[in-house]
Amino acid sequence: MKIIDAHTHPFLNELERTGAYGEFITDMDYFADDMARSGIEHFCGSVIRHIDGSEWSQVQEMNRHALTIWEKFPETYTPGFHIHPNFSKESCEEIEYMASRGVKLIGELVPYFMNWRSYADPRLEEVFHLAEEKGMTVNVHPSTDEDLEAFMNKYPKLSIIVAHPRDGKDYIENLTRLERHPNVNLDLSGTGMFRYGMLRHGVKKLGSERFLFGTDYPICNPGMYVEAVLFEKITDEEMENIFQKNAERLILHKEL
């Protein structure tokens, strides 16, 4: 069984390096070594940094950095890229370009880093419809419950991954939302995985095909997330779906 991390944030410079104690993670060689040390064989995700969203070049630079990292780690990294509601035309052109390169992961999108708010923004309709047409998957950082519901209602055929299970009643609401939207999946990065039994509960409610392993590294400790999944009392088949097969299907777009 292979472990694929569906949610990381690689970087090329200081502005893009995330994590409260990110100074210890010096470069992408260190990043890749931590992934391997955790037992993670493949990692996915977008380069992120704070921007004011006034120029498309700010967005595109992060996307090009993701491609540069992909060139260095072609077998172990799958890049995610950004779109932006301030630049609908350019976002569509970026989807076409990335599709031509074989990249089919948008995100993780992090609107509050990039000075925008709503996934249901009308300026993104053409963008998300094109993503759907190209068979892409969109990983989104949670916005408000109202916005997520509006977004999912707008795009019932778009392949969506929501990042972060959250905790307590918020996690239960996430599961209830996923019941209403069969095209939406949940990655396990960020808050929540320290609650023992939550994954088993979610698998019982929705099935193991709806969850993807993710860490949000370098923000979070990847080894902790690997062990959290391994310790849950789920079947080998369910664990393989979560660690590997769901990411292969939704992000790497492999025929299973």
Residue 191 clears pLDDT 90, i.e. is over it: no
* In contact, 40 and 81? CB cutoff 8 Å: no
Cα separation, 143 vs 135, in Å, equals 23
Confidence of residue 151 (pLDDT cuts 50, 70, 90): very high
| Number of neighbours of residue 58 by Cβ within 10 angstroms | 18
Question: What is the pLDDT averaged over residues 98-105?
Answer: 97
Query: How confident is the model over 50-99, as pLDDT tens digits?
Result: 999 999 999 999 999 999 999 999 999 999 999 999 999 999 999 999 99
- Looking up tokens 């999946």, which residue turns up? 185
Residue 253 pLDDT: 82
Residue 255 clears pLDDT 80, i.e. is over it: no
Tokens of 95: 């989807």
Cα separation, 256 vs 243, in Å, equals 14
Residue 240 clears pLDDT 90, i.e. is over it: yes
Calculate the average pLDDT of the chain.
96
Tell me the CATH class for 4-250. Answer: alpha beta
Phi/psi of residue 248, nearest 5 degrees: -60, -40
Confidence of residue 164 (pLDDT cuts 50, 70, 90): very high
Tell me: cis bond preceding 108? Omega within 30 of 0 counts.
yes
Domain boundaries, given as residue ranges, for the chain: 4-250
